[in-house]
Chains A and B, each alone.
Chain A
């Protein structure tokens, strides 16, 4: 059963299209992330689900009911904001209890639910504090408790970790995921951080210019991006312009557009069949590339620079075709030196094809 459904939802601002005909379905208990660069329409989409923005077209359903025209205060969503948006004049427990109070839930039931929500985010001992006495991370945990204590039909999170530093962000990611799983609450999460999107979500919708570019589970999004935009936005990617030569059961054979004697095997077939002669881009990830491979696809290159990251060494290369590329080598492996000529390789199963146009 679909908990939240967007059906051809659009939003225009002064004739500028912020969200363009977006349709998607979030299943019950699912954690779906809207991922994209700023201005891609992800926050506008979320705010339309919350009811803060009225769509210019299309319809929004929550639990099968059309809520497109239902005011925000009667939508039964729980929202977490980037700015925390806690009530500064109320204590932590009164912040958490606000939604219960608005629903006429008082007394021992309210107290029990507030305590339970604070336990969920591990802040029971700070119930009497005021927001200004808490750190940013604690404030956002209060905001999470405040949003879930009303048991909303859908939890909406708008860049909730955007103003926290990296370490805290990672801790809170784990906590958000735990709370979400424990409550089994349907969640729509907005972020521009691809790592956050991949690690938290059941599915990720990558948005661009008001549209959904690709909507897939994280592993598929990463290993089989549908466009160069998604390939570049989600993780790092090396792209080579190629032309289809042949089509076999195991995948495609392609040749380099720049140097036709160089051919590569692509062990995947995604989307529509590609015809011989069609131009596209061959993509592979820095970490699925090895040095001096025994078999598979190969390419010679010159080492331009090496950066050390602890777990890996990132090697910047200029290939024989003139492309600038990046590959990751295990830090323990023998490292090439700057200026070395090397052969890099990747397995046919570890690469993908995306269209040229975009």
Chain B
């Protein structure tokens, strides 16, 4: 007993460097950010010394700021929904196929993760532009008479973010669907379930952990993403992260920038906790 305990303590020591790095790299900035948000704005680039909640009150009472929060969430929900709808069939196929092309497909799925966000978005801009390939194709197919604005707006951000985060959703769902015993589906069919009933009554409920996990990852990354909204949103899309950057880098209101950042983080944490609770109750 004593020896095992000692061993466990010694192994525990190996975690110390990581804990130290995490504290420094994550804990300190968050602590300083939170601290900044609790003091008054004392002119450009200066945080005052009066402890106050005025920043939070300003945020909570101004429809403009609340609107940015709502837009950010709307972006998150739209991206999560599209990723779920597009990702589920692919994930199901990847989980169940014995095809020799599975490896290739898997690579294609994770390919967007191998490219940096800047490069990926730079690639989208010419594709989505007024004279870009997508508009050309839509017109050639007769789906539209004139070019659609696909970039420098909300839609552009949705397309870019969905592309970037779809792999997470697919990987998450594939892992969970793979763990559903295929014979359970056969049992459902054998008992008279149509393919649709089998999906809604058996496969979908059993995929919930993957849906919740995928939702968590995609949603939290989306609402905190900066590069894609900045690059594909033009200057017309303001989400929390671009707004925070604007406050800190251009307006030089550190206190209010910090407040917005803390609000975003708090909301993300709350959603994570809720989703985790939900998935624990499910299992």
Instruction: Determine the distance from Cα of A52 to Cα of B182 in the docked complex, in whole angstroms.
Output: 12
Contacts of A79 in B (CB 8 A): 186-187, 190
Contact B191 A150 (CB under 8 A): yes
Least Cβ–Cβ distance between B63 and chain A, in angstroms: 43
Per-position contact with B for A41-61: 1 when CB-CB < 8 Å, else 0?
000000000101000000000
Of A52, A85, A99, which is in contact with the most chain B CB atoms at under 10 Å from its CB? Answer: A85
Contacts of A146 in B (CB 8 A): 187, 191
The tally of CB-CB contacts under 8 A between chains A and B is 62
Determine chain B's interface SS by DSSP, over half rule.
helix
Contact B188 A98 (CB under 8 A): yes
A150 — nearest CB in chain B belongs to which residue?
B191
Per-position contact with A for B167-195: 1 when CB-CB < 8 Å, else 0?
00000000000000101101111111110
Contacts of B197 in A (CB 8 A): 102
Instruction: Determine the distance from Cα of A74 to Cα of B186 in the docked complex, in whole angstroms.
Output: 13
Is A36 located at the chain interface by the 8 A CB criterion? no
Is B265 located at the chain interface by the 8 A CB criterion? no
Least Cβ–Cβ distance between B212 and chain A, in angstroms: 14
Determine chain A's interface SS by DSSP, over half rule.
mixed
Q: Using A73-B193, A102-B193 as known contacts, say yes or no to A87 and B188 having CB atoms under 8 A apart.
A: yes
Of B190, B202, B205, which is in contact with the most chain A CB atoms at under 10 Å from its CB? Answer: B190
Q: Using A79-B186, A85-B183 as known contacts, say yes or no to A103 and B192 having CB atoms under 8 A apart.
A: yes
Contact A102 B192 (CB under 8 A): yes
Per-position contact with A for B53-79: 1 when CB-CB < 8 Å, else 0?
000000000000000000000000000
Q: Using A88-B206, A89-B206, A102-B197 as known contacts, say yes or no to A72 and B187 having CB atoms under 8 A apart.
A: no
Least Cβ–Cβ distance between A109 and chain B, in angstroms: 16
Contact B184 A150 (CB under 8 A): no
Instruction: Determine the distance from Cα of A85 to Cα of B191 in the docked complex, in whole angstroms.
Output: 12
Contact B192 A85 (CB under 8 A): no
Is A77 located at the chain interface by the 8 A CB criterion? yes
Contact A99 B192 (CB under 8 A): yes
Least Cβ–Cβ distance between B200 and chain A, in angstroms: 12
Q: Using A85-B181, A102-B197 as known contacts, say yes or no to A50 and B190 having CB atoms under 8 A apart.
A: yes
Least Cβ–Cβ distance between A2 and chain B, in angstroms: 22
Is A81 located at the chain interface by the 8 A CB criterion? yes
Contact A102 B186 (CB under 8 A): no
Which A residues, 112 to 165, have Cβ-Cβ distances below 8 Å to chain B? 143, 146-147, 150
User: Could you give 14 example pairs across A and B, Cβ below 8 Å?
Assistant: A52-B189, A52-B190, A74-B192, A77-B190, A81-B187, A85-B186, A85-B187, A87-B184, A87-B187, A89-B282, A99-B192, A102-B197, A143-B187, A150-B192
The 9 closest A-B pairs by CB, nearest first: A99-B191, A102-B192, A85-B183, A85-B187, A79-B190, A81-B183, A73-B189, A85-B184, A89-B205
